[in-house]
Amino acid sequence: MQPKSRPAVSNLRLARRQRLPEIMDQPDLAPELHHQALDGLRRINIVSRSAAILAGPIETVAKRLGTTSLSLCDVATGGADVPISLWQQLQRKGIELNVTAVDVSPVALEYAAERAQAKGMAIELKQVDVTEQPLPGKFDIVTSTLFLHHLDGPIATNVLQEMKQATEHTLLVSDLRRTTLGLAAAHLACRLFSRSIVVHVDGPSSVRGAFTTDEMRELCHAAKVQTAKISHCWPFRILVQWERDDV
């Protein structure tokens, strides 16, 4: 299908969260448009150093555990560009990541398989709707990037709880932070780094649906990961880091 036009949202205020349905979440989105959007998001993730946000904390976990091998589950992985980049970065540090990546979209998982194969990476890909299904096992680390803003508050709470249950050691959630500057940056970056109309529309909508720092703190409290460390990362991101040792 072709992307549908959307009512103008420029008059919506950022003071409150405005979660709008995103084009890429539509199950009947044409595969070629989905692939084009995933290409654009991969470029944006490279520029915004999405994998680097997670790499440092993961390296710290490996040192703390005294290991050079960790299992990792990436939730709502999309094209899996973040776990693939993590695998590459941590290999250079002498740390082997055994990656399982889950997503609801078979189109995204097919794209992810092709990208991983091109990089020579062994990755286990599973079709899982984490809003309705449990994650496939227990992992040293569970990660998620740019996903929670897609969800209504109660569902986001349940997903955080599910990721917590699947985490043996560390939970890392990186997402957008709802700010005026972040919205302006999304408009610019989505047009600079992608020709996809899906990205052009969904990028700014994602910022409008993102959580503020205080809202994320409330979400963590509701999900019983209230001991999580919440920090700001460039560019206009929130990182939630929860350690099972804190329990």
* CA dist list (Å): 242 to 72, 128, 165: 15, 23, 12
pLDDT digits (tens, 9 = 90+) for 56-96: 999 999 999 999 999 999 999 999 999 999 999 999 999 99
- Supply the mean pLDDT for the chain: 94
pLDDT of residue 7: 41
Among 167, 169, 101, CA closest to 138: 167
pLDDT digits 0-9 by tens, 205-235: 999 999 999 999 999 999 999 999 999 999 9
What's the pTM value of the predicted model, to 2 decimals?
0.93
Q: How far is CA 230 from the centre of its chain?
A: 16
Would you state the pLDDT for residue 245?
Answer: 76
Q: What is the pLDDT of residues 4-50, one digit of tens each?
A: 544 444 434 789 999 988 999 998 999 999 999 999 999 999 999 99
Q: State the DSSP H helix or E strand holding residue 229, giving kind and residue range, or none if neither.
A: strand 229-233
Q: How many CB atoms lie within 10 A of CB 168?
A: 14
pLDDT tens track for 147-186: 999 999 999 999 999 999 999 999 999 999 999 999 999 9
User: What is the C-alpha to C-alpha distance for residues 189 and 235, in angstroms, rounded to an integer?
Assistant: 11
Grade residue 2 by pLDDT with cuts at 50, 70 and 90. Answer: low
pLDDT at 4: 52
Residue 98: count of CB within 10 angstroms of its CB: 15
Instruction: Give the pLDDT score at 102.
Output: 98
| Rounded percentage of the chain residues whose pLDDT exceeds 90 | 91
Q: How confident is the model at residue 247 (pLDDT cuts 50, 70, 90)?
A: very low
CA–CA distance, 48 with 138 (Å, rounded to integer): 29
Q: Which domains does the chain have, with CATH numbers?
A: 51-177+212-246 (3.40.50.150)
